[in-house]
Amino acid sequence: MKSSFDRRRFLKKSAQAGLGIALGNLAFSSEAEAVLPALNNYPFKPNKLDKVRIGMVGVGGMGTSHVSNFLKIKGCEIVAVCDIIEDRVVRAQNMAVEAGFPKPEGYSKGELDFNRMCQRDDIDLVFTATPWEWHVPVCLEAMKTGKHAATEVPAALTIAECWQLIEASEHTGKHCIMMENCNYDREEMIILNMVKRGILGEILHARCGYLHDLRAVKHDMNGEGVWRRTHSMKHDGDLYPTHGLGPVAQCLGINRGNYFDYLVSFGTKSRGQHKYALDLFGLESPQAKEEFVLSDVVSTMIRTMNGETIMVTHDTSNPRPYSRDILIQGTNGIVQKYPDPKIHIEGRSPAHTWEDLESYKDEFYHPLWQQMENETAGSGHGGMDYLEDYRLINALLNGIEPDMDVYDAAVLSAVTGLSEKSIASGGWPMQFPDFTRGMWKTPRTLKVMEL
């Protein structure tokens, strides 16, 4: 009886999952047709800029790091700074003056003061490094007022927000770029170069994620804990997929001849944040009474249109060393970054033996790192932050397609909303909307590989 019951339950579950995909496809395609016309004006070709004049929104830790980079990059100037905390505005202004630039105008009259900043006619790019929920409002206002937009990750939190960014970008012809710094990390770019040169053969599978003990960060009320902890109380899904998935998506040619088809997500029970609060603040503390819904570990499997699979993990609530879990497996070899960068290539590596990835550096070092390594010295996250800011300014100065566009921002950010829906449904597959309306089927070279 038990096996018969389990079989009936499995068949029922499978039928429900199939219905979920079908209904999801219908909903997403209808939404796309209702909101947007057929795609016919990409790539955007904005004019070259003699100088990129920047308005910064959000100059806390990460925003200040970007300010520092922009002050060193030729061809740009920060003309305005906005933050709800006036001291942060003053700090950024002082940094600009000390670097030899005119003092940027300050904006700190509440959460919506970025709207007033965007009305200026001397800004070309609005850059936001605010809490997540403000990324879309700032980007929309920037494009609405004729500016390019760049945002820290993730670009959006819901599927509807992803469509809003695309609609605004296409309507205005302005770029909306998600600043995924991990795309520019040294090892990730070596791996990207190897993949594009066919060293690993045909790619089959990838693994990635964001595995970072953020318990202290989420409880730091002088930092990201002010807002980041709240997301863990309200949402159960992969809240931060792009650090691992961005580099993997580039290796797999997502939006450039390949696309994400569907995902399935599962979550563990939620224990880590509550345990941390008990241990640190005590049983009777207000923190110990807070309730978290975010699964301690969220596992998401993505299947692509070209038949690869990607395992994405989100794990921020328990003690563990940092990792983005980067792994790429092909028909001719396998490479991984964490915990130690290593590789095996059939015909080159000793049989059944890992080699140090560093031994392949001279042959596969990415041209961007070869050109810019000296300039990256001392900048954030080992230099990758400087490279992403440099490439942004380079694209705007030269009027060329950026390394990542609004469609990349949408499809990578969509994992958050879709994973939340999948977990809530008990693990049903969730189809990715075709944000490109078919454009992904046309192969095109990733700009950072054209150096």
Q: Is the pLDDT assigned to residue 37 strictly greater than 90? A: no
Please tell me the distance from the alpha carbon of residue 125 to that of residue 118, in angstroms, as a whole number.
9
Q: Is the pLDDT assigned to residue 2 strictly greater than 70? A: no
Tens of pLDDT, residue by residue over 332-348, are: 999 999 999 999 999 99
In this structure, what are the phi and psi dihedrals at residue 262, rounded to the nearest 5 degrees?
A: -150, 165
Other beta carbons within 10 angstroms of residue 154's beta carbon come to 26
- What confidence score (pLDDT) does residue 25 get? 45
- What confidence score (pLDDT) does residue 43 get? 73
Beta-bridged to residue 304, according to DSSP, are 260
Which of these ranges, 231-235, 340-344, 378-382, has the smallest mean pLDDT? 378-382
Tokens for 387?
Answer: 């490279």
Please tell me the distance from the alpha carbon of residue 148 to that of residue 167, in angstroms, as a whole number.
14
Assign 38 a pLDDT band (cuts: 50, 70, 90): low
Q: Is the pLDDT assigned to residue 443 strictly greater than 60? A: yes
Strands 309-315 and 355-356: unpaired
Distance of CA 229 to the CA centre of its chain: 19
Tokens for 98?
Answer: 């000390």
Q: Global pTM?
A: 0.92
Please tell me the distance from the alpha carbon of residue 438 to that of residue 25, in angstroms, as a whole number.
14
Q: Is the pLDDT assigned to residue 166 strictly greater than 90? A: yes
Q: Is the pLDDT assigned to residue 14 strictly greater than 60? A: no
Which tops the pLDDT comparison, 393 or 44?
Answer: 393
Distance of CA 306 to the CA centre of its chain: 22
Q: Is the pLDDT assigned to residue 13 strictly greater than 50? A: no
Tens of pLDDT, residue by residue over 254-279, are: 999 999 999 999 999 999 999 999 99
Q: Is the pLDDT assigned to residue 444 strictly greater than 70? A: yes
Tens of pLDDT, residue by residue over 279-321, are: 999 999 999 999 999 999 999 999 999 999 999 999 999 999 9
Percent of the chain with pLDDT over 90: 88
Torsion 376-395-135-235 (CA) sign: negative
Which of these ranges, 34-43, 73-82, 207-216, has the smallest mean pLDDT? 34-43
Please tell me the distance from the alpha carbon of residue 57 to that of residue 137, in angstroms, as a whole number.
11
Average per-residue pLDDT for the chain: 92
Distance of CA 352 to the CA centre of its chain: 34
Q: Is the pLDDT assigned to residue 390 strictly greater than 50? A: yes
Q: Which has the closest alpha carbon to 302: 211, 210, 206? A: 206
Please tell me the distance from the alpha carbon of residue 68 to that of residue 398, in angstroms, as a whole number.
22
Q: Is the pLDDT assigned to residue 9 strictly greater than 50? A: no
Q: Is the pLDDT assigned to residue 45 strictly greater than 90? A: no
Distance of CA 95 to the CA centre of its chain: 27
- What confidence score (pLDDT) does residue 46 get? 84
Q: Are 356 and 342 spatial neighbours (Cβ–Cβ below 8 Å)?
A: yes
Q: Are 312 and 208 spatial neighbours (Cβ–Cβ below 8 Å)?
A: yes
Which of these ranges, 11-15, 153-157, 179-183, 256-260, has the smallest mean pLDDT? 11-15
Which domains does the chain carry? Answer: 183-368+406-449 (3.30.360.10)
- What confidence score (pLDDT) does residue 33 get? 41
Output the CA torsion 201→391→161→440 (10° steps).
Answer: -40
Percent of the chain with pLDDT over 70: 91
* Token pair 């159960």: residue: 236
Tens of pLDDT, residue by residue over 193-217, are: 999 999 999 999 999 999 999 999 9
SS3 per residue for the chain? CHHHHHHHHHHHHHHHHHHHHHHHHHHHHHHHHHHCCCCCCCCCCCCCCCCEEEEEECCCHHHHHHHHHHCCCCCEEEEEEECCCHHHHHHHHHHHHHCCCCCCEEECCCCCHHHHHHCCCCCCEEEECCCHHHHHHHHHHHHHCCCEEEECCCCCCCHHHHHHHHHHHHHHCCCEEECCHHHHCHHHHHHHHHHHCCCCCCEEEEEEEEECCCHHHHCCCCCHHHCHHHHHHHCCCCCCCHHHHHHHHHHCCECCCECEEEEEEEECCCCHHHHHHHHHHCCCCCHHHCCCCCCCEEEEEEEECCCCEEEEEEECCCCCCCECCCEEEECCEEEECCCCCEEEECCCCCCCCCEEHHHHHHHHCCHHHHHHHHHHCCCHHHHHHHHHHHHHHHHHHHCCCCCCCHHHHHHHHHHHHHHHHHHHCCCCCEECCCCCCCHHHCCCCCHHHCC
- What confidence score (pLDDT) does residue 277 get? 96
